[in-house]
Amino acid sequence: MMKIRIYLTVLTLAMVLGACVSGSGTSNLEKAPPNIIYILADDLGYGDLGTYGQLKFSTPHLDQLASEGIQFTRHYSGSTVCAPSRSVLMTGLHTGHTPIRGNQEVKPEGQWPMPASARTLAEGLKEVGYVTGAFGKWGLGYPGSEGDPVNQGFDRFYGYNCQRYAHRYYPEYLWENEEKVYLDGNDWTSTETYAPDMIQKKTLDFIRENRDTSFFAFVPIVIPHAELVVPDDDIYQHYLGKFPETPYEGRPGADYGPDMVISMYCSQENPHATFAAMVHRIDLYVGEIVKVVEELGLSENTIIMFTSDNGPHMEGGADPRFFNSNAGLRGFKRDLYEGGIRVPFIVSWPGIIDRGRISDHPSAFWDVLPTLAELTGFEYGKTDGVSFLPELLGREQPKHEFLYWEFHERGGKQAILKDDWKAVRLNVGQAPEGPLELYNLEKDPREENNVAEAHPELVEAFARMMDEERVPSKKFNFGRRAN
């Protein structure tokens, strides 16, 4: 087992941080390991923040967070849908190795569970003294299973265990650890308590309650995933009438009422205004988190990370083309083109990370675990990640040899990124040795020109890498029967 031990003493700090940390920063780190707040939006596109080019609405708190830290321009999600992306984040293993590689549903509530043998980020941090909490959407194991968040290293969980139930923002109940908590005025017909607001309150409470110890707050915010719905408050009214609208009409059973089907998305008269209001709400949530950290005097001993679990969705009336949510990149959620997996990533740590930095270092979700292990000293085994702590600190950063993804829906897909070359294979379930598409991202960042025929040696090499990189999975096998 690999050991990463960084003891937060003056001597070790001098070795790790060198000349790039100021005297005040060193003093801050000597006090205690940093608190960690990792905020994960749901289906937020690369271009949905002002600091990443969004023009139709503003995100001032997130823009401010970026200006006070580092903004990554080539950060990649763990997958192009919810559950496997979270599995990659928690295990530090890409989708060729991580246990959960697809959105496999379990009835009546939940998803296929992360096995007890999985070694998670939360478990590692808990072992070195962190209090751990998760607030939002889980999706890695049905209630009471070995994949339940309280069985995967989290002391506290509040939110949706099931990502299918998280389609609904006015659910009858949420989960607090292993107990159902019923929400006032919600019964799948009435809609009084907006669940994301309740989850935000519990997040802020957790930060306040653990101000005197080291804590890890994992905040997988459920918005702006469909359904598209927000409270009729000042945020929504601010956007109402600002955009052209085509109402979205849900299928029978989509709307709240006695015949409602939980997994569907409600109708929405003003989908553009609603989507903008949802992203605005995320921005306000982040602003509230930063404000509480500041009020508690924890800013210089708290690292805040913000990203999204995959590219922008097109369900429930969402219109990512209108908002340019993928920033002109090709693809959306469920694609392995850049628009489906390249995501915003902002890291702020006052006094440690230099302000206003832009990084083009290629990084991915499976890098988060080794980064935080290097920072805090917990032990971990095999990982596909490369710590980006040096990049945060302005030091020389080791690079990945390549990045790999696989996707187990819509016929199955694989992708590899090596330097500026990106290879994509579609219909893997029916044609596991099928043709590859090849793109040069430096010359063709929008992946418009497939140059596979001109580079047969690269195609052959990438095809071999795809075959070699994945460990077979009986549960997730591109829809094929496992041998």
**CATH number assigned to the domain comprising residue 48:** 3.40.720.10
Do 433 and 324 fall within a single domain?
A: no
Nearest to 125 by CA among 254, 4, 247: 4
How do residues 318-347 score in pLDDT, each as one tens digit?
999 999 999 999 999 999 999 999 999 999
Is residue 344 in some structural domain?
Answer: yes
Is residue 5 in some structural domain?
Answer: no
Do 242 and 381 fall within a single domain?
A: yes
The predicted structure's pLDDT at residue 315? 97
Do 297 and 242 fall within a single domain?
A: yes
Is residue 1 in some structural domain?
Answer: no
The predicted structure's pLDDT at residue 479? 82
Do 109 and 222 fall within a single domain?
A: yes
Is residue 423 in some structural domain?
Answer: yes
The predicted structure's pLDDT at residue 481? 62
Do 396 and 411 fall within a single domain?
A: no
**Whole-structure pTM value:** 0.94
Do 410 and 437 fall within a single domain?
A: yes
Q: Average per-residue pLDDT in the chain?
A: 93
The predicted structure's pLDDT at residue 235? 97
Map 104-139 to HEC letters: CECCCCCECCCCCCCCCHHHHHHHCCCEEEEEEECC
Which residues in the chain show pLDDT less than 50? 1-29, 483
The predicted structure's pLDDT at residue 480? 76
Half-sphere exposure of 164 (CA within 13 A, CB side): 16
Q: Which domain holds residue 171?
A: 34-400
Do 384 and 418 fall within a single domain?
A: no
Q: Phi then psi for 418, rounded to 5 degrees?
A: -135, 115
Domain closes at, from 400, 428, 458: 400
Do 43 and 117 fall within a single domain?
A: yes
Total domains in the fold of the chain = 2
Do 225 and 98 fall within a single domain?
A: yes
The predicted structure's pLDDT at residue 31? 57
Is residue 105 in some structural domain?
Answer: yes
Do 298 and 439 fall within a single domain?
A: no
Do 162 and 41 fall within a single domain?
A: yes
Do 447 and 360 fall within a single domain?
A: no
